[in-house]
Every structure is written in C-alpha cells, then in structure tokens.
Amino acid sequence: MASPAPLPPAEADPGARLVLAEHLLACESAVACARAVVEWLARRHGVPAACVGPGDGAGASACLASEGLTGAQQAALARAWDAQGSPLAGFRNRPGARGLAADAVEGAVMPGGFFAVPLGRAGAPAAALLVVGLPGPAVPEDVAWVASCAGPLLARQLASDARAPRRPEPDRLLRRVINAVSDPVLLTDTDGTLLFANARAEALLVAGPDASPGRTRAVELNQRLFRETLAQGGTSVHRREVSLVDPLEGMDLLFELATTPVLAPDGPSVVVSVLRNLTDLGRATQALGESYRQLRATEREARSERHRLDRVLDSVADPIILTDPAGGMVMMNDPAERLFAWPHEEGAGGEATLRRVRANDALFASFLTNLLGPVNAGVSRWKSQLTLDDPATGAPVPMEAMANKVLGDGGELTGIVTVFHDRTEVLERARLLERVKEVSSELEARVQSATAELAEQNELLRRQAIQLEQASAAKSQFLANMSHEFRTPLNAILGYTNMLLQGVSGEMTPPQRRNLTRIDSNGRHLLEVINEILDITRIEAGRMPLHLSDFGIPELIQEVMAEMDPIIARSKLTVETRLDEGLPGVWSDRQKVKQIVLNLLSNALKFTHEGGVHIAAEYQNATGTVAISVKDTGIGIDVSNQEKIFEDFQQVDSSPTRAYGGTGLGLSICRRLAEMLGGRVSLQSAPGQGSTFTLHFPRRARRT
C-alpha cells in the first residue's frame, strides 16, 4: 500500500519542511499532494486554506483540498478560478503570489484577506491555485516555499492524473462523516492499495515516519493481516473475522471485516472495508462461554453431588425418606424403597405386597400429618414408633421414625427428612435381657438352695467327722485296751513257756520241747503284732510323745547291730556298715530312730536270701538332715507296690500262702515315726535287684 504518512505538526520549521517535502514526494495523486500542502499551511498558521485545480472530468475546476472552508466557499473559489476576468483567473498565466482583499471572491469571504499563489512549473501556466487566508501584503516566506516546492510536483501529478484514470477521492464532508464513524473504514483499490482511511483505521493501519518502532511494527503486521484477509474475500461482498494488534497497547483486537466492492462507472473499482470491533463482543462471548462452562461444571457437580448423596443414602442401612412440605415423597433410599415402593422388577410382588406397601404408606402419611399439623408448627423434630409390614414377607417390622423439618434461609419449610430405625434387634435384645434376668434369678434360687443343702451336708459331715473321730478314738482306746489286755496274759504265757523250756518243771521229751517251742514262737509273733497295733493306736491317739535328746548315730547303729546279731548270724548274710567320718551328733528322739532302723534292717534280712545288707549313715549339710540307709540284695519291690507297702497291713504278697511272715504294719509305723521326727522314709528298689530304704530326718528335731 503506497500512502504518504500523515503530516506532522508544522511548528518546527526546517524539520517540518523536510517532512512535508518527503511527504509530497511520496504522494501518488494531485489531490493527495494538494491536501498535504493545504493542511500543512492551515495547521501552521491556523487559517483557512484551499487548493483549486482541475475538476473531476467535466472540465470545471474544483477544490482539490481545503481546510476551514465550507463547501459553498470551496465552490465559489473553483468558480472564480475558472471565470474569465475574475481576480483568481488572472493567476493562471502570471507567476508569483499576491495578497487579495477579504471579499475578492464572491461567496468566499475570508476575514482579513488572503493570498493567492499559482502552482505549477516555472514558465508554464499555473496548474492550480493555492489560497491561504493570511492578510497581506507581504507574502509569508513559508507560503512562497511551499508554492515553489509543491508547484512542480502538483503540476506533474495533475499531468499524470490526466493521463491515468482518475481515482475518486471522497470529498471533505464525506471524509468527515466517515471520520466520525466509530468503526475503522478504509477505501482501497482492488489490489489492496489504501486510498483512504478514516481516523480509526489510520490508528490501526498507518504509521508516520516518526512513529515508535513498536507502533511501526504493529502497523506493518496489521497491514499484512488486513491485506491477507482482504485477498481471501476477493471483490465480492464479504464478511470475515480478522485479528489485529492495538498499536498503542499491543493488545489483540478482533474485528469483523465487511468488504463491499464499489464499481465506478468511469473508473476502476474500489473496495470499501468496514472493520467492526468484535473484541468486546469476543470477550463477552468468551465470558458467556466461560459462565456457560461454569454453569455446566456446577450442574455436573450438582449432579455428581446428587449421585453421591444417593449413594450415601443408599449405603445407610436405615430407611430415609425426603418429603416436600406437603408430604409428597421426593426421594428415598433403597432400604426405604423396599418398605414404601412398589417393586419395579418384572413379576415382583403381588396383591399382598401392594397392600402392605399401601399400608406402610398410610402409616407414614399419618405420622407426617402429626408433624405438619398446626399443633406442631413450632416443632422441628418428631419421633414416633410405628410397626410397618415387610412388603415381601409380611413380617412386622417395628420401627422408630424420626422426622426433621428442613427450613430454608427465610425459615420457611422446604422439606422433611425422615429416618427410620429398625427396632427388631433392640426389642429382641430387651427380650433376651429379660430372659437372662429370669434365668439368672432362677439360677440364683437354685444356688441358694444348693448352698443351703451344702451347708446342711457340711453340718452332717462335720457331725459325722466328730462321730468318726470319736469312733476312731474309741477304736484306738479299745485296741489299746485290748492289746494291753492281750499282752498281760501273753507275757505270762511266754514267761511260763520259757520256764518250761528251761526245765523248771523237769526235763521234757523232745516232742514236748518241740511243741512248746512252737507255742513260744507263735506267742512271740502274737506279742509282736500286739505291740505294733499298740504303737499305731498310740501314735494315732497322740499318746506317743517325742523324747528328744543328744545322741550319736554310730553308737545307735552299733546297738541295732548288737540286737539283731542272732538273726544276722542265722541269716548267713554279710552285714556291713559305712558311716561318714564327720557325722555330727543329733538332737532327736533316739528311741524312735532306733525303732525305724531296726525295722528296716529286720525287713532287709527277711527279704534277702543271699548277698548282704549294707548300712550307711551320712549328714547332708545343705539340708541339715541325717540319712541312714539300709541297702539289701534281696527280692526287690516293683514300682507299683512301692507306695502301697507304707500303708497299714499292706504287703506285696498278702495271699494266705505267702512265703514271708509279717503283719504289714512295720513300714507304716516307720512312716508315722519318721513324720513325727520331721522326716520321711524313701525307697529305691526294683524286682530282683534289692532295695534301699533310707530314713531322712533333721539333725535337730523341732518339737511340734
């Protein structure tokens, strides 16, 4: 697009002239050239100015450009330039500027007078006349300069305009009108060369020589975009959008470009382009789109919130119903649907189901009526117990219903939320609790009676124990008495037998002696039994006190050995003793220790056929006890009998045909005596491998 930059202010003289000169050189038409000159002078001096020249085709002259003059004044000037003999016509063939009176031209009065300056090449008739509303008489220097500078150029342009087809130039009024249009309006030829741009369009598409680099770049970009968009539309009437840049602020601007080709009958076509700023519209559309998107997002959010609420409600095991202020159901969760809604599934339910659903609905409605009634206007919550029917099975469902009024911002009722709570479990629990209470009181009664019975039994047992104790004491007393009664005659028998055997009554025949010996032996055995029974009864009756004294173990064992010597001799067994060297003296019941050891040694000799018996005594410092053991190589005792033999009258072989004599009381007496000493008797034995009986007792006995 070839278009001179708009004229700069005409104050700075040399610079302003240079700019005007460059501008004039860039002008492609006489009109543009004339306009540049007129504007420059008018602006510089603040006075009206005009340039009159060849008119548009018909032969009459016209105002090529004017500033500060009405259309009538312009026409008057053109007429005066053409009219023979008029003051202006005289300038056609006479060079040089001259001042004229204010009313020199009829119809174009300029207060204070004006200058007329013929424009053209030197030596040739003036091609145009420059009129400047400055008072005379001296021609201002810049007017003369402008005339000399612009004259030849204008003449050349006019000549070339005359050869080239004339491009139309909107007149000043039209230009003003178009300038007043708030939208950018452009006039271009068909190849896009800008012929005219209103102020708005110039702000976008024209940059002067002194424009900032930023503005120049923006304008160049806009020109390119505009040209490209224009080229898309061809020469037809067209509307499309074009994005341009605001050269001032650098913002993107969106325009609708409406192009209309205008076919001039006598010249080339021109294109009128009107740009309509859509930026605000675009922004509004964008904002509208944004709010629409937000609306959609809100709607989506609300929908998903509703789904979430539905899911939450459905996940609640308790039935929940939302009703409107009139009591109409708005929403219910799955558990509520099972009670209050007709089953949707094909073939589900029947007449009975429907009846139960209706009955439930009726119950619910009457429940709500209570809350909605005028009596409860100020009540926000309502609780009641209803027994609904399970529509599927008909089973009664005890429910607690809790309704809450939902109030709006203004306190008005917007809905009612009712939550049901199944009371079946609560009732069942209460029933079970009742039952447990019953059972527990039954149990308590039974325990009481059992306790009473037990107490009775205890009393009975206590009496029996007393009776037993008394009986036992009586028995012991009886046995003691009896033993004593037996012992006295028996001792007498043994005494007399002994005397007879010693020949006090004369010699006896061998058979007599043999029989008497048997009487003596049996009598002794009987005495032994009686003595043992007497011992047990005395121990049990607590009539065998401890006689504690200091004594030495070696002496005691020696005594035992001495007493047993005849039997040892008869047995042909070896009997050895091994006593610890440092055996301390003991404080205990010597007689009882001796009786135990005697008994153990007597048993060892009785149940051992070959080998020997070994008696050992040691002191166990750690426990403070003395251990006297009697070890034999006899028949031994099976483990199963090792407990039993310590009980009264118990023997390993208790058959009538047993091989060994004895009463089975010896070991039980030993056990009792050892316990009296604060000790015990232990046994290690195995059949065929001998036995070791050991008496353990404290070195220092404690009187109990």
Interface with ligand ADP (CB under 6 A): 603-604, 607, 632, 634-635, 637, 645, 651-653, 660, 662-667, 691
Residue 417 · residue 324 · CB < 8 Å: no
Q: What's the min distance (Å) between Cβ of 548 and ligand ADP?
A: 26
Residue 364 · residue 340 · CB < 8 Å: yes
Q: Which is nearer to ligand ADP, 63 or 628 (CB)?
A: 628
Q: What's the min distance (Å) between Cβ of 445 and ligand ADP?
A: 54
DSSP-derived pairing of the beta strands 574-579 and 612-620: parallel
User: CA 557, 562, 567: angle at the middle one, nearest 5?
Assistant: 115
| 446/99 Cα distance (integer angstroms) | 149
Q: What's the min distance (Å) between Cβ of 604 and ligand ADP?
A: 5
Q: What's the min distance (Å) between Cβ of 663 and ligand ADP?
A: 5
Q: What's the min distance (Å) between Cβ of 630 and ligand ADP?
A: 8
Q: What's the min distance (Å) between Cβ of 675 and ligand ADP?
A: 15
DSSP 169: -
Q: Which is nearer to ligand ADP, 16 or 652 (CB)?
A: 652
The secondary structure element, H or E, covering residue 386 is strand 381-389
| 594/617 Cα distance (integer angstroms) | 13
79 residue type, one letter = R
Q: What's the min distance (Å) between Cβ of 529 and ligand ADP?
A: 9
Within a 13 Å sphere around the CA of 148, how many CA atoms are in the beta-carbon half?
Answer: 9
- Name the maximum alpha-carbon separation found in the chain: 228
Q: What's the min distance (Å) between Cβ of 617 and ligand ADP?
A: 18
Residue 367 · residue 386 · CB < 8 Å: yes
**What is the chain's Cα-based Rg?**
75
Q: Provide the strand spans (E) within 568-611.
A: 574-579, 586-589
Q: What's the min distance (Å) between Cβ of 510 and ligand ADP?
A: 31
CA 293 to chain CA mean position, Å = 31
Q: Which is nearer to ligand ADP, 54 or 666 (CB)?
A: 666
Q: Which is nearer to ligand ADP, 8 or 662 (CB)?
A: 662
DSSP-derived pairing of the beta strands 625-632 and 612-620: antiparallel
The secondary structure element, H or E, covering residue 239 is strand 238-245
Q: What's the min distance (Å) between Cβ of 625 and ligand ADP?
A: 22
Q: Which two tokens stand for residue 56?
A: 């548009």
Helix (H, G, I), strand (E, B) or coil at 434: helix
Q: Which two tokens stand for residue 59?
A: 């032969």
Q: What's the min distance (Å) between Cβ of 515 and ligand ADP?
A: 25
Q: Which is nearer to ligand ADP, 73 or 629 (CB)?
A: 629
Q: What's the min distance (Å) between Cβ of 682 and ligand ADP?
A: 13
SS3 string of 43-72?
HHHCCCEEEEEECCCCCCEEEEEEECCCHH
Q: Which is nearer to ligand ADP, 421 or 671 (CB)?
A: 671
Written as one string, the DSSP assignment of 91-154 is GGS--S-EEE-TTSSTT---TT-EEEEEES-TTS--SEEEEE----SSPPHHHHHHHHHHHHHH
Q: Which is nearer to ligand ADP, 267 or 664 (CB)?
A: 664
| 52/130 Cα distance (integer angstroms) | 6
Q: What's the min distance (Å) between Cβ of 647 and ligand ADP?
A: 9
Q: Which is nearer to ligand ADP, 43 or 592 (CB)?
A: 592
| 648/654 Cα distance (integer angstroms) | 12
Q: Which is nearer to ligand ADP, 120 or 634 (CB)?
A: 634
Q: Which residues pair with 388 in a beta bridge?
A: 397
Task: Break the chain down into helix, strand, coil percent, rounded to 5.
Answer: 50, 20, 30
Q: Which is nearer to ligand ADP, 501 or 567 (CB)?
A: 567
| 513/490 Cα distance (integer angstroms) | 19
Q: Which is nearer to ligand ADP, 230 or 575 (CB)?
A: 575
| 421/426 Cα distance (integer angstroms) | 10
29: left (phi over 0), alpha (psi -120 to 50) or beta: beta
| 266/28 Cα distance (integer angstroms) | 20
Q: Which two tokens stand for residue 703?
A: 């009187």
Q: What's the min distance (Å) between Cβ of 670 and ligand ADP?
A: 8
Q: What's the min distance (Å) between Cβ of 634 and ligand ADP?
A: 5
Q: Which is nearer to ligand ADP, 126 or 605 (CB)?
A: 605
SS3 string of 304-355?
HHHHHHHHHHHHCCCCEEEECCCCCEEEECHHHHHHHCCCCCCCCCCHHHHH
| 50/72 Cα distance (integer angstroms) | 12
Residue nearest to ligand ADP (CB): 662
Q: What's the min distance (Å) between Cβ of 450 and ligand ADP?
A: 44
Q: Which is nearer to ligand ADP, 509 or 657 (CB)?
A: 657
Q: CA-CA distances (angstroms) from residue 640 to 130, 137, 636, 650?
A: 160, 169, 12, 13
Q: Which is nearer to ligand ADP, 40 or 607 (CB)?
A: 607
User: CA 574, 577, 580: angle at the middle one, nearest 5?
Assistant: 160
Q: Which is nearer to ligand ADP, 216 or 692 (CB)?
A: 692
Q: Which is nearer to ligand ADP, 55 or 664 (CB)?
A: 664
Q: What's the min distance (Å) between Cβ of 702 and ligand ADP?
A: 27
Minimal CA–CA distance to 49: which of 152, 104, 157, 129?
129
Q: Which is nearer to ligand ADP, 74 or 483 (CB)?
A: 483
